[in-house]
Structure 1
Amino acid sequence: LFTIIICAMALPKQVIVIPLAQEMTNFFHLNDTLWAVILPTVGWPFGVFLMKQFSETIPTEILEAARVDGAGELRTFITVVFPMIKPGIGALAIFTFVNTWNDYFLQLVMLTSRESWTLPLAIANLQGEMSTDFGLIMAGAALASIPIIIVFVAFQKYFTQGIAMGAVKG
């Protein structure tokens, strides 16, 4: 599994964008929707790797104690494991959001109509062939940074805990 994740992380998105676009259109019928941009990053290999490494920091003694107390797998996950991996989920949420928000190439391929364009696509479209209004582009770039700042502020506590806890293995 580890080798597959590393190989998937090494592949550039340009290699898989055509099969990915076909899957989003043929199987899921998500052509020209924001879900076609969001869903591919949910199973992002980096996220799987990060959560695997993070979950390995949970002591097995705690899981065994939950089983001895009579907790099943689901109850152990909800009451014991989930609170311990919240910082990792927060860090992953920030990484995934920023990656999705800034993924210009995937947005360009998946979103064809102007109505479904994201803010980065609309800002890029402001650059004209003959003239460019740099003031308008900079205002759009400042506006595009607001959602990233909001997500970071909302998950900042989990982000710093997640990075610190994921870096140290006991």
Structure 2
Amino acid sequence: MSSSVQADLKTRLPSSKEIRKKQEGSIGKVLSNILLVIATLFFLFPFYWIVTGAFKKQTVATAIPPEWFPVHPTLENWTQLFKNPVWRWTLNSFIVSCGEMIAICLVASLAGYVLAKKFFPGRKLIFGLFVGAMALPKQVILVPLFTMLADFGWVNTYHGLILPAIGWPFGVFLMKQFSQTIPSEVLEASRIDGCSEVRMFSTIILPLLTPALGALAIFTFIGSWNDYFSQLIMTRSTSMMTLPLGIATLQGEFTTDYGIMMAGAALASVPMILIFLVFQKAFTQGITMGAVKG
């Protein structure tokens, strides 16, 4: 065999180091997949326990050792659950959550675009105030907020539940960071073509902000759907309760029927899962693309 052929074979055949690296890479990939599966099962188990518990009797749901799967499933928990105004609570939750989601996405996209692409005195100060407001817990402002809403006569109303959430600082922060990735040349070209600010925002800016709006929609809807404390303060009647509040009232003073509670929790989790599945693609794009520039 000639020396040239031997040299060619040496270049084509993988070395021992390359083989070792490939083996280590395959082993690492298998281990990472195993860890991901374990983590997935760990986070899905509470949801599985709630769903299966919704079809167990009270004595079975609290039995030790636990019954991992309902051997004798029953619909008694769901029957007792729907004896309450559950559909009214669900409608209230949808009205409040969807209202907050639409209002926050619209206002945050406008404010984020202005803070990112418009230059005016105090722009950095205003953005700094939004960032600082993110550090304040919602409970800090509930007392003055409730007093103000009471003066307006908005307590126990839909607009009293929706309007205070419009200026969500995180929404403005997210949209501002994402608006910075929009090329300024596109905006300048549209102005040269005679495009107005309103038309430019509706036809150019909003389509480019779709991934960020999808991520913000998920954050807003889930946050509003689970906002137990604020809705507890702002509501007074049973007919205005949201689903988390209504389910909490099913807990007795001395005893708690965990089967009914699990049925209510399973019902309350369905809209959050659906909204995430609908906006999942936009959510992942918004999180990754929004972090490119800051």
The question of a shared fold, defined as TM-score above 0.5 by the shorter chain, is answered with yes
**Cα distance in 2 between the residues matched to 1:145 and 1:104:** 14
**Cα distance in 1 between the residues matched to 2:276 and 2:149:** 29
Q: Is the 8 A contact 1:38 1:100 kept in 2?
A: no
2:245 to 111, 121, 131: 121
3-state SS of 2:134 partner: helix
Q: Is the 8 A contact 2:177 2:291 kept in 1?
A: no
Q: Number of residue pairs matched?
A: 169
**Cα distance in 2 between the residues matched to 1:8 and 1:128:** 38
**CA shift for structure 1 position 94:** 1.1
Aligned pair 1:21/2:146, yes or no? yes
**Cα distance in 2 between the residues matched to 1:152 and 1:74:** 30
**CA shift for structure 1 position 129:** 2.0
Aligned pair 1:9/2:134, yes or no? yes
| Runs of at least 5 residues in structure 1 that lack an aligned partner in the other structure | none
2:168 to 44, 52, 58: 44
**Cα distance in 2 between the residues matched to 1:126 and 1:55:** 45
**CA shift for structure 1 position 93:** 1.2
Q: Is the 8 A contact 1:34 1:111 kept in 2?
A: no
**CA shift for structure 1 position 141:** 0.4
**CA shift for structure 1 position 82:** 1.1
RMSD between aligned residues: 1.5
**Which consecutive segments of 4 or more residues in structure 1 shift more than 3 A?**
none
**CA shift for structure 1 position 53:** 0.8
Q: Which has the larger radius of gyration?
A: 2
Q: Is the 8 A contact 1:66 1:76 kept in 2?
A: yes
1:80 to 199, 204, 213: 204
**Cα distance in 1 between the residues matched to 2:185 and 2:158:** 43
**Cα distance in 2 between the residues matched to 1:4 and 1:67:** 30
3-state SS of 1:167 partner: coil
Query: Percent of pairs identical after alignment?
Result: 60
Aligned pair 1:158/2:272, yes or no? no
Alpha-carbon displacement from aligned partner over 1:101-149 (angstroms, at most 9, x marks no partner): 1111101100111111111011112222210000100100000011112
Q: Could you say which residue in structure 1 is the equivalent of 2:84?
A: none
**Cα distance in 1 between the residues matched to 2:213 and 2:224:** 16
